[in-house]
């Protein structure tokens, strides 16, 4: 006797993924709406306190996104673990280590720019993923999801690098995360951030190559009609 549809593992997996993508979509939609309304209401002044207005929701969305590593590991999401790990750790380090830990950085314009870039990419990606789980596929939305990152992702990395650069004087002044170790050893965190800057661009090349390959495979399922003369 066949199991009811709602008891089948595939059905439960799709329901879970749909709920996950829906939560992320709602979170990023709220961020986008909030940033848009605030910009038209307060102009450039809204950019300065972006973190204070939406930082908590962005932290929540980015923290929840770590579940995607578990999704890939257990096989309920088809993706490569390492590239996704690099993308998520980039954001977690920048958001929680660089921005959240330094109040002076939170008021910089680069924070608003970063949030816009992250939000644009995630809104499109989670919308496409949410619809795909329930069997709905739009060629334009798939194309947009697989293409939007091409100009925006490098700009994200540049903005992340600039945020790290702007944070260095504050880490040097306040000694945040710098610590002394036994045997006259110490960890000077600004040096760690400078090393991370180099790794950021190396990781960008690896991630960009993977995303481009993923884009080629995703768009290959849509036939291209050629005109005949």
Task: Report d(CA 55, CA 213) in Å as an integer.
Answer: 33
Is 90 an active-site residue? no
Catalytic residue among 160, 170, 191, 208: 160
DSSP state of 79: S
Chain centre distance of CA 27: 13
Among 20, 21, 126, 153, which one carries the catalytic annotation? 153
Q: Which residues pair with 47 in a beta bridge?
A: none
Task: Tell me how many degrees the CA angle 116-155-195 measures, rounded to the nearest 5.
Answer: 110
Best CA proximity match to 132, nearest among 210, 206, 79, 60 = 79
Q: Is 153 a catalytic residue?
A: yes
Q: 187: phi > 0 → left, psi -120 to 50 → alpha, else beta; which? A: beta
User: What token pair was written down for 180?
Assistant: 């002394």
Q: Which are the catalytic amino acids?
A: 153, 160
């Amino acid at each position: 006797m066949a199991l009811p549809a709602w008891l089948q593992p595939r059905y439960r997996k799709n329901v879970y993924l749909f709920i996950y993508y829906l939560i992320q979509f709602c979170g990023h939609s709220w961020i986008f709406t909030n940033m848009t309304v605030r910009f038209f209401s307060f102009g450039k002044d809204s950019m300065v306190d972006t973190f204070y207005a939406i930082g908590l929701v962005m932290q929540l969305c980015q923290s929840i996104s770590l579940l995607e590593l578990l999704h890939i590991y257990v096989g309920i999401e088809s993706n490569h673990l390492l590239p996704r790990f690099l993308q998520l750790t980039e954001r977690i380090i920048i958001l929680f280590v660089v921005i959240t830990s330094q109040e002076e950085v939170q008021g910089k314009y680069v924070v608003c720019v970063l949030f816009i870039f992250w939000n644009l990419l995630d809104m499109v990606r989670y919308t496409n993923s949410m619809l795909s789980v329930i069997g709905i596929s739009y060629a334009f939305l798939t194309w947009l999801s697989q293409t939007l990152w091409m100009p925006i992702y490098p700009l994200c990395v540049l903005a992340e690098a600039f945020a790290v650069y702007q944070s260095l004087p504050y880490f040097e002044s306040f000694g945040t995360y710098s610590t002394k170790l036994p045997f006259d050893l110490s960890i000077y965190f600004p040096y760690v951030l400078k090393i991370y800057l180099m790794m950021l661009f190396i990781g960008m090349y690896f991630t960009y190559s993977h995303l481009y390959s993923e884009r080629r495979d995703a768009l290959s399922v849509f036939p291209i009609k050629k005109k005949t003369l």
